[in-house]
Amino acid sequence: MVQQIVFIILALVIAVCSVLAVTSKRVIRAATYLLFVLLATSGLFLMLNYHFLFAVQVMVYAGGIMVLFIMAIFLTHQPGKSVPTKASWKVTSSALLAVAGLLLCGVIIVRNVVCAFRVVTDHEISMHSIGQALLGTEKYQFLLPFEAISLLLLACIIGAIMIARKDKGVKEIEKVENKETENRESWEKSL
C-alpha cells in the first residue's frame, strides 16, 4: 500500500515535471524541473532496491550534470529573460508526433508485457558483488566496458577543453565582454 502511494507520488512528479521542463519558457525553470525529475527517478531506483544506482544517480546526474547545466546557463543567458519559441505549426506537429508515439508505445506495452513475473526478492545487492562484477573478466562481468568508459571520460574531458578553449586572442575576449555588458544593461533596463 505504502509502496503504491510512494510510487504514485514519484510517478506524478516525474510526469508533471518532465512535461513542464520541456514547455517552460524560462531556462532556469526548465533546469530546475529537470532536477526534480532526476531526483524522482533516483527515488524510483530506490524503490527497485538498486541502492548503488540510486546513489550514483543523485551524485552524478542530479549533482554533477545539473551543476554543469546551471553554470552553462549562467554563462550564456541573461537570467529571467524568456527564450524565443519556434513557429506554432512546428510545435503542434512535434506535439502530435510525440503523442502519437506515446500512444503507440503505450498500446504495445500494455498489451504485450506479461503481467506475470517472478517473486521480487527483497535483498539489496551488496557492494562486494557490484565491485566484483564491475572489475571482473568472466561472464556477466564488466571490466571491458568499465575501461572503455574511462577512456570515453578521458576523451570527453580533453575534447571539452579543446572545444571550449579561447584561442582567438584578445579580440574574442573583447567581443564577449562587450556582449556581456550589453546583456547586463538591457537586463537592468528591463527591471
Partner 1 sequence: MEYTLLILLLPMLSFVGIGLLGRKLSHRAAGISGTLVLTAVTLLSYLTAFDYFTTQKVNGVWQAIQPYNTTWLNVGERLHIDLGILLDPISVMMLVVISTVSLMVHIYSLGYMKGEKGFQRYYSFLSLFTFSMMGLVLATNIFQMYIFWELVGVSSYLLIGFYYTKPEAVAASKKAFIVTRFADLFFLIGILVLSYFTQTFDFEAIMGGDGSILSSALGTTFLGASALTWAMALVFIGAAGKSAMFPLHVWLPDAMEGPTPVSALIHAATMVVAGVFLVARLFPIYIGFTPEVLQGIAYVGAFTALFAAIIAVVQTDIKRVLAFSTISQIGFMMVALGVSTSMKLTPEDHGGLGYMASMFHLFTHAMFKSLLFLGAGSVILAVNSNDMKDMGGLRKHLPITHVTFLVACLAIAGIPPLSGFVSKDEIVTAAYQFSTGMGIWMTVTAGFTAFYMFRLYFRIFWGKEYRGEVKPKESPRSMTYPLIFLALITLVGGFIPFGQFVTADGAPYTIRLNSTVAIISVVVALVGIGLATLLYRKEEKRASWLPSRSSGLYKAAYNRFYIDDAYLFVTKKIIFNNISRPLAWFDRHVIDGAMNGLAWITNRASDAIKGFQSGSLQWYAWVFLLGTLLITLFAILL
Partner 2 sequence: MGEIIVNTAGAIPLTAYLIVGLVMFFAGIYGFFARKNLIMILISVELVLNAVDINFAAFNRYLFPDQMEGMFYALFVIAIAACETAVAIAIIINVYRNFGNVEVDNIQQMKE
- Residue 118 binding: pick among partner 2, partner 1, none (C-beta 5-8 Å cut-off by kind): partner 2
155: its cell numbers: 576523451
Give the C-alpha distances (Å, rounded to integers) separating 189 from 69, 176, 178, 182, 185.
27, 20, 17, 11, 6
Return the number of the residue (112 or 121) whose C-beta is nearest partner 1.
112
Query: At closest approach, how far in Å is the CB of 47 from partner 2?
Result: 7
Segment 72 to 101, residues that bind partner 1, using CB under 8 A: 93-94, 97, 100-101
Return the number of the residue (107 or 155) whose C-beta is nearest partner 1.
107
Check binding of 22 to partner 1 (CB under 8 A).
no
Query: At closest approach, how far in Å is the CB of 184 from partner 2?
Result: 14
Please tell me what DSSP assigns to residue 79: T
Segment 29 to 48, residues that bind partner 1, using CB under 8 A: none
Check binding of 36 to partner 2 (CB under 8 A).
no
- Residue 161 binding: pick among partner 2, partner 1, none (C-beta 5-8 Å cut-off by kind): partner 2
Residues 28 and 75: their CA atoms lie apart, in Å, by: 12
Query: At closest approach, how far in Å is the CB of 101 from partner 1?
Result: 5
Segment 91 to 120, residues that bind partner 2, using CB under 8 A: 91, 93-95, 97-99, 101-102, 105-106, 109-110, 113, 115-120
- Residue 121 binding: pick among partner 2, partner 1, none (C-beta 5-8 Å cut-off by kind): partner 2
Query: At closest approach, how far in Å is the CB of 98 from partner 1?
Result: 8
Single out the residue of 125, 146, 124 nearest to residue 135, CA to CA. Answer: 146
Give the C-alpha distances (Å, rounded to integers) separating 32 from 17, 38, 94, 169.
9, 10, 23, 35
167: its cell numbers: 584561442
Which residues, in sequence order, are CB contacts of 45 under 8 Å at separation 6+?
A: 53, 54, 57
Check binding of 29 to partner 2 (CB under 8 A).
no
Residues 135 and 133: their CA atoms lie apart, in Å, by: 6
